[in-house]
A = this chain, B = another copy of it.
């Protein structure tokens, strides 16, 4: 049986994408930085659904999600955060955390319409990959907020 891709990502995190080490999850910078600070928060344990976790682990994982969302929001000051746990392609618990800004022309819609376009249109892809800051600078800024809130 092939190893779950997110189990691999947890075991061998790419240093250039790693944002934060939580006790029960790891945060990675996502590919679409048009939504500045977009992160994917991957559970350390392999599970498919939240209700498969024991209650205290679920609550701890969800508090880590909340902590990361709060840090992204503090950094980006979006009009709204979007929190999504899907897993239709990789059924290993992971949150997509998107900051939706006033400058986003599609701010009233879920991000996936544009992301779907990006998979077929290199120009849309290039635009959605581009952020306010470089990827390393974005990671540095998120870490600063998380470090301050954990101090």
Q: Which residues of A contact B (CB under 8 A)?
A: 48-51, 55, 58-59, 62-63, 66-67, 69-70, 73, 79-89, 91, 100, 107-110, 112-113, 116
B83 touches A85 (CB 8 A): yes
Enumerate chain B residues within 8 angstroms of A110, measured Cβ to Cβ: 84, 86, 88, 110, 112
- What's the Cα separation between A84 and B97 when bound, in Å? 10
Enumerate chain B residues within 8 angstroms of A84, measured Cβ to Cβ: 82-86, 110
Q: Which of B59, B91, B108, B113 contacts A89 (CB 8 A)?
A: B108
Specify which of A48, A59, A91 lies most central, judged by the most chain B CB atoms within 10 Å of its CB: A59
Q: Smallest distance from the beta carbon of A105 to chain B beta carbons, Å?
A: 12
Enumerate chain B residues within 8 angstroms of A55, measured Cβ to Cβ: 63
Enumerate chain B residues within 8 angstroms of A83, measured Cβ to Cβ: 50, 83-86
Q: Smallest distance from the beta carbon of A53 to chain B beta carbons, Å?
A: 9
- Quickly give the copy total for this chain: 2
> Is chain A's binding surface mostly helix, strand, loop or mixed?
mixed
- What's the Cα separation between A80 and B87 when bound, in Å? 7
Would you give 6 A-B contacts (Cβ < 8 Å), ordered by A? A48-B80, A50-B83, A51-B70, A82-B87, A84-B85, A88-B110
- What's the Cα separation between A83 and B95 when bound, in Å? 9
- What's the Cα separation between A113 and B120 when bound, in Å? 14
Q: Which of B51, B67, B91, B108 contacts A66 (CB 8 A)?
A: B51
